[in-house]
């Protein structure tokens, strides 16, 4: 067992840290205020290989491992979780799904562009009446021989407004339940496909989230991913990897808030001494650091499981459940350590606190992670 990062992993982490400090930090408050994330920054992340981290270089990816992925996710998330969710969705939910389950033609046509950042992807599972209960898909994809016709509504879709390629989950045969679901690739601009207005959110405000409408959208059979009826398992397997990314995002939000709180507590004086010398503050720092390290172990273990070719359904759910709890609890403490300054935007911790909340909701709420973990324990 080796708890030390390799030289290569340190280089990758430092490259992401440098990018986050130099490119993401300037303007992060303004982007949060204006609810925007410029395409120029997405392009830069693509140039650095952050949009196809684990994709095979033959498809334009960086060919890195899942450990590298979580290191990059943590560093970006310390500064800007709106940037890291773009990275997470593109890598885990879109590129991974296509590479693992797509046809060679789909990989050549879409993956090569998604892995380099020429294209951005979106993953469309959630619906107004099918969030946690994801098998209750109301969106239909009716088989018409050489093509399908998709009708329905998807909501909460990250990258909804900026994506070029959308992976859409839909019900083909209701009688077959979860075995009648398929995943399709829908291109931006396809007739009948409409992107609704951007959601006005509590956190990750730079990330664009939209409702999507599908009105008789024609999709050729070549754009179905995998064999007929495999769409739900495709979504579940893809989400297991996605949960490693979101766990790493939560870890980054927590560690970013901790680093700011530590620094502030060593500078701010009250009652004749730096506030870190008051035990109430020092103990908060001790709790934060300990919990963050524990979360890091779970995140790294899930990534390691994936790299080793082991099953990571349970370890990714555990990592997400725990890291998101740590992120929520300790960003609140980071605000507390900052006193009044924690309540204003200039000090960044209030944004981290707002951003932390989503990590307990998306890619499966904390309650859903407990379902996944407990079912796995009982089955084992």
| Spatial contact of 218 and 192, defined as CB atoms under 8 Å apart | yes
Backbone angles phi, psi at 301, to 5 degrees: -65, -45
Q: Pick the binder of ligand CAA from 154, 325, 364, 373 (CB under 6 A).
A: 364
**Site track 134-173 with ligand CAA (rule: CB under 6 A), x = hit:** xx----------------------x---------------
Query: Is residue 344 exposed (0-12), middle (13-18) or buried (19+ Cβ within 10 Å)?
Result: exposed
How many chain residues bind ligand CAA (CB under 6 A)? 23
Q: Under the criterion CB under 6 A, does residue 92 sit at the interface with ligand CAA?
A: no
Angstrom distance (rounded) from CA 95 to CA 104 = 13
Q: Is 199 among the catalytic positions?
A: no
Q: Which of 74, 191, 363, 367 is catalytic?
A: 363
Residue 81 binding: pick among ligand FAD, ligand CAA, none (C-beta 5-8 Å cut-off by kind): none
Residue nearest to ligand FAD (CB): 131
Angstrom distance (rounded) from CA 186 to CA 219 = 7
Show contacts with ligand CAA in window 177-206 (CB under 6 A): 178
- If you compute the radius of gyration of the chain from its CA atoms, what whole number of angstroms results? 21
In terms of CB distance, is 141 or 337 closer to ligand CAA? 141
Residue 35 binding: pick among ligand CAA, ligand FAD, none (C-beta 5-8 Å cut-off by kind): none
Nearest-approach distance from CB 168 to ligand CAA, in angstroms: 12
| Spatial contact of 53 and 69, defined as CB atoms under 8 Å apart | yes
CB under 8 Å to 288, separation ≥6 — which residues?
A: 254, 257, 258, 261, 330, 333, 334
In terms of CB distance, is 5 or 361 closer to ligand CAA? 361
Residue 178 binding: pick among ligand CAA, ligand FAD, none (C-beta 5-8 Å cut-off by kind): ligand CAA
Token duo for residue 369:
């992670």
CA 281 to chain centre: 32
Nearest Cα neighbor of 142 from 52, 217, 201, 77 is 217
Nearest-approach distance from CB 362 to ligand FAD, in angstroms: 4
Residues binding ligand CAA (CB under 6 A): 85, 89, 123, 125-126, 132, 134-135, 158, 178, 232-233, 236-237, 239-240, 313, 362-364, 368, 371-372
Residues noted as catalytic: 363
């Amino acid at each position: 067992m080796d708890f030390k990062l390799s030289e290569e992993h340190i280089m990758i982490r430092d490259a992401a840290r440098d990018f986050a400090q130099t490119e993401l930090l300037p303007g992060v408050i303004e982007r949060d205020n204006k609810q925007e994330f410029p395409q120029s920054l997405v392009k830069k992340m693509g140039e650095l290989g952050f949009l196809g981290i684990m994709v095979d270089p033959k498809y334009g990816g960086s060919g890195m491992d899942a450990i590298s992925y979580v290191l990059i996710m943590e560093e970006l998330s310390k500064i800007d979780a709106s940037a890291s969710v773009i990275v997470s969705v593109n890598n885990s939910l879109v590129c991974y799904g296509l590479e693992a389950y797509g046809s060679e033609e789909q990989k050549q046509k879409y993956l090569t562009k998604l892995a380099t950042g020429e294209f951005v992807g979106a993953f469309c599972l959630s619906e107004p009446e099918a969030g946690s209960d994801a098998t209750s898909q109301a969106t239909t994809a009716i088989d018409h021989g050489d093509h399908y016709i998709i009708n329905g509504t998807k909501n909460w879709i990250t990258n909804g407004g900026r994506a070029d390629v959308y992976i859409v989950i839909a019900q083909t045969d209701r009688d077959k339940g979860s075995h009648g679901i398929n995943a399709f690739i829908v291109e931006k601009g396809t007739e009948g496909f409409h992107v609704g207005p951007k959601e006005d959110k509590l956190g990750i405000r730079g990330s664009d989230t939209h409702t999507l409408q599908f009105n008789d959208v024609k999709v050729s059979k070549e754009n179905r991913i995998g064999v007929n009826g495999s769409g739900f398992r495709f979504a579940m397997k893809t989400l297991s990897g996605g949960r490693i990314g979101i766990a790493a995002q939560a870890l980054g939000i927590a560690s970013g808030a901790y680093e700011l709180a530590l620094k502030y507590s060593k500078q701010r004086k009250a009652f004749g001494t730096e506030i870190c010398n008051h035990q109430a503050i020092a103990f908060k720092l001790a709790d934060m650091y300990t919990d963050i390290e524990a979360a890091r172990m779970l995140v790294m273990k899930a990534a390691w499981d994936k790299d080793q070719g082991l099953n990571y359904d349970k370890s990714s759910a555990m990592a997400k459940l725990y890291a998101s709890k740590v992120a929520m609890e300790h960003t609140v403490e980071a605000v507390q350590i900052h006193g009044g300054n924690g309540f204003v935007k200039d000090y960044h911790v209030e944004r981290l606190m707002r951003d932390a909340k989503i990590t307990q909701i998306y890619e499966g709420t904390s309650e859903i992670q407990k379902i996944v973990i407990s079912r796995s324990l009982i089955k084992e």
